[in-house]
């Protein structure tokens, strides 16, 4: 499940996690059984784009458009997604 090629595969947010904005905490969160992870602004920008099936290239492309000033974006996204894959926040979509 958590083993797929991040560079080539399609993936999306693990349906076991609930992603949403929390007004009271002023941040996005990932909810799971009896727990919650507070997301940083950039983590939220990435996961936001994983709610539907997507690829790493697509996420990087969208973020480059949204934040043309940002430097080293591709690397940051890769690092975060690799971590998200480890934590099983994202899962492969078989097509």
Partner 1 sequence: MDKTTSHIPMWLLAELTFACPVQCSYCSNPLELSASRKNELSTEEWIRVMRQARKLGAVQLGFSGGEPLVRTDLEELVVEAKSLGYYINLITSSIGLTAEKITTLKEAGLGHIQISFQGSNRESNQLLGGTDSFDHKVAMTKEVIKQELALGLNFVLHRQNLHQVEEFLTMAQSLGAEFVELANCQYYGWGLHNREHLLPSQEQLIDAERVTNEFREKYKGDMDIFFVAPDYYDDRPKKCSNGWGTTFMTVNPEGEVLPCQAAKVIPGLEFPNVRDNDLKDIWHNSDLFNRFRGTDWMTEPCKSCPEKEIDLGGCRCQALMLTGDATNADPVCSLSPHHDEVLRITAKAQRPYEEEETQKLVFRNPGNSKKIRAEKSELTE
Query: Residue from 24, 41, 65, 94 that binds partner 1 (CB under 8 A)?
Result: 24
> What mask, x for binding partner 1 by CB under 8 A, covers residues 27 to 66?
--x-xxxxxx------------------------------
Q: With the CA atoms of 48, 52, 56 and 60 taken in that order, what torsion angle do they form, in degrees rounded to the nearest 10?
A: -50
Query: Residue from 3, 5, 8, 23 that binds partner 1 (CB under 8 A)?
Result: 23
Is there binding between residue 16 and partner 1 (CB under 8 A)? Answer: yes
Please state, in angstroms and rounded to a whole number, the distance separating the CA atoms of residues 40 and 33. 20
Q: CB within 8 A of 43, min separation 6: which ones?
A: 28, 80
In 3D space, the residue among 74, 2, 11, 7 whose CA is nearest the CA of residue 47 turns out to be 11
Query: Residue from 18, 40, 52, 86 that binds partner 1 (CB under 8 A)?
Result: 18
Query: Residue from 22, 66, 67, 87 that binds partner 1 (CB under 8 A)?
Result: 22
Per CB under 8 A, residues contacting partner 1 are 16, 18, 20, 22-25, 29, 31-36
């Amino acid at each position: 499940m958590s083993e797929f090629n991040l560079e080539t595969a399609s993936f999306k947010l693990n349906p076991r996690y609930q992603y949403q904005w929390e007004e009271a905490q002023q941040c996005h969160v990932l909810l799971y059984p009896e727990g919650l992870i507070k997301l940083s602004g950039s983590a939220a920008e990435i996961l936001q784009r994983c709610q539907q099936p997507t690829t790493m290239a697509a996420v990087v492309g969208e973020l480059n458009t949204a934040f043309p000033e940002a430097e080293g974006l591709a690397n940051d996204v890769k690092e975060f997604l690799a971590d998200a894959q480890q934590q099983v926040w994202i899962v492969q979509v078989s097509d």
